[in-house]
Amino acid sequence: MQRIPIKMAAAGMKLAREAATPEGQVLCGPGTELSADLIQRLEKQGVMILTVEGHPVKMPGELSLAERLRELDRRFSKVAGDPVLKALKNLIAEYWIVQEKGEDYLQELKKRISS
């Protein structure tokens, strides 16, 4: 799931959360597939930000999931022996993976690691 400016939205993307006007009026719900026409109509209604499925847009200065996970490992490397901090690091990594790839991907990854 990724929040993006409506200017970066493209036809074929799917909403992960409802799109609403600045006043809170819901215009379309989660799962709605965006078309060029729909994006244009949402812009006219004042929608500035959309939350879409996956992570389809590379934002300026944004790190990829792999880069973020490497940085997480680096930051926690000095406390690798602490079980509480190791659990915290794993929770952060799992959260990022689910946000970007989805729960099914995380479960498949856990199966591969355990076998």
Q: Return the pLDDT at 87.
A: 94
* Full DSSP string of 8-50: G--TT-BBSS-EE-TT--EEE-TTPBP-HHHHHHHHHTT--EE
pLDDT value of position 56: 86
**Domain ranges for the chain:** 2-52, 65-114
Q: What is the pLDDT of residue 98?
A: 85
Report d(CA 62, CA 66) in Å as an integer.
12
pLDDT tens digits, residue range 31-43?
Answer: 999 999 999 999 9
Which positions ≥6 away from 38 have C-beta within 8 Å?
28, 32
First to last CA, the chain: 29
Is the pTM above the cut of 0.85? no
Homologous superfamily of 2-52: Molybdopterin biosynthesis moea protein, domain 2 (3.90.105.10)
Give 46 or 111, the one with higher predicted confidence: 46
